[in-house]
């Protein structure tokens, strides 16, 4: 089946589809993504395209006047932290509940760090939980020339179907989302040196004051220091309410930024927690996790038998999109 026209869904009312597009070069990219987008527009479907900035111009040029009907986003900004992406996709689909939505999301590109790739892989697996049974098609492009073979192998594990050389094929490597997420819970490397503070109920204000004072000695500007203090406040508050009543905060510098780690004895019951914008009445841990994902440049999640660990990364300066 050709990727042009109705490659992913032959009917506008078809159910959930989540193909990985394996492409080579810009021509292959434009053929695959452009065909998917055109098919959606011709079927009257709302379309969102979230891809790295350098791809947006060629796609707009290819689509011509049709591009006016497409919502575009630079994934290097929207998805700087992979934990933000799913909430954005869900919000777009939720705005169009009356019909099928068609989305392009490219969460992994060649400049991603290994930690970012791991969390983006977790995101790809969670798409299958978040949209199961919904009339939504989500195409995820993968650069077969620039990405590591391990990344392409993971794409087979996180996508029920793949598009290769113009053919839509079942993925023999597809793996249940919970197993993929468990495989993403690799052991985190110990930092060379870290400042440590234990906390419990009644001591969270002191945690925030201590962290703010420590951050004053880093290169973070006032706004980003405030963002990280707020994110850590949400994480430590979750520890007290949902994570056994206490925890440990560690902080250390890394190249180009700082890391704050919050560790407690809780566990993440809902793997989708924090990946939907919470309502005003929301009172569970999902609200805090959502805020953490929005505030930080990267959130590494480790949910093990002995507890939950969140590593919150904040860059010295906001990341500059690739050009």
Percent of the chain with pLDDT over 70: 92
The pLDDT value recorded for residue 317 is 75
The residue-averaged pLDDT of 278-294 equals 78
> What sign for the dihedral angle of Cα 70, 76, 78, 84?
positive
At 45-63, the pLDDT tens digits run 999 999 999 999 999 999 9
Check residues 66 and 283 and name the one with the higher pLDDT: 66
The residue-averaged pLDDT of 298-322 equals 83
Distance, CA of 86 to CA of 120 (rounded, Å): 10
Q: Which two tokens mark 99?
A: 């019909």
The pLDDT value recorded for residue 242 is 86
pTM of the shown model: 0.92
Average pLDDT, the chain: 91
The pLDDT value recorded for residue 284 is 55
The pLDDT value recorded for residue 268 is 85
Tell the burial category of 50 from Cβ atoms under 10 Å away from its Cβ (0-12, 13-18, 19+): buried
At 96-142, the pLDDT tens digits run 998 999 999 999 999 999 999 999 999 999 999 999 999 999 999 99
- The DSSP element (H or E) to which 91 belongs, if any, is helix 85-94
The pLDDT value recorded for residue 323 is 36
- For tokens 């660990």, name the residue: 309
């Amino acid at each position: 089946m050709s990727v042009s026209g109705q490659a992913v869904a032959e009917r506008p009312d078809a159910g959930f589809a989540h193909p990985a597009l394996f492409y080579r070069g810009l021509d292959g990219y434009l053929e695959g993504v452009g065909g998917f987008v055109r098919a959606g527009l011709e079927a009257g479907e709302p379309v969102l395209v979230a891809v790295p900035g350098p791809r947006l111009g060629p796609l707009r040029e290819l689509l011509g006047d049709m591009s006016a009907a497409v919502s575009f986003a630079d994934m290097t900004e929207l998805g700087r932290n992979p934990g933000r992406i799913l909430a954005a996709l869900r919000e777009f689909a939720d705005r169009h509940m009356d019909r099928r939505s068609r989305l392009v999301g490219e969460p992994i590109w060649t400049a991603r760090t290994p930690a970012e790739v791991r969390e983006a892989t977790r995101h790809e697996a969670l798409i299958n939980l978040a949209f199961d049974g919904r009339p939504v098609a989500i195409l995820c492009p993968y650069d077969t020339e620039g990405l590591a073979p391990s990344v392409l192998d993971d794409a087979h594990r996180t996508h029920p179907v793949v598009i290769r050389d113009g053919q839509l094929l079942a993925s023999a490597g597809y793996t249940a989302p919970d197993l993929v997420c468990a495989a993403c819970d690799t052991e985190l490397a110990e930092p060379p040196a870290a400042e440590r503070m234990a906390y419990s109920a009644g001591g969270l204000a002191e945690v925030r004051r201590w962290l703010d004072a420590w951050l004053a000695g880093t290169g973070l500007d006032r706004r980003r220091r405030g963002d990280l203090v707020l994110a850590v406040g949400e994480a430590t508050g979750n520890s007290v309410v949902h994570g056994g009543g206490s925890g440990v905060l560690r902080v250390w510098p890394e190249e180009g930024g700082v890391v704050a780690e919050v560790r407690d004895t809780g566990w993440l019951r809902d793997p989708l927690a924090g990946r939907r914008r919470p309502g005003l009445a929301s009172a569970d841990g999902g609200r805090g996790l959502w805020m953490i994902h929005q505030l930080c440049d990267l959130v590494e999640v480790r949910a093990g038998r002995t507890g939950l660990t969140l590593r919150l990364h904040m860059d010295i300066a906001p990341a500059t999109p690739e050009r």
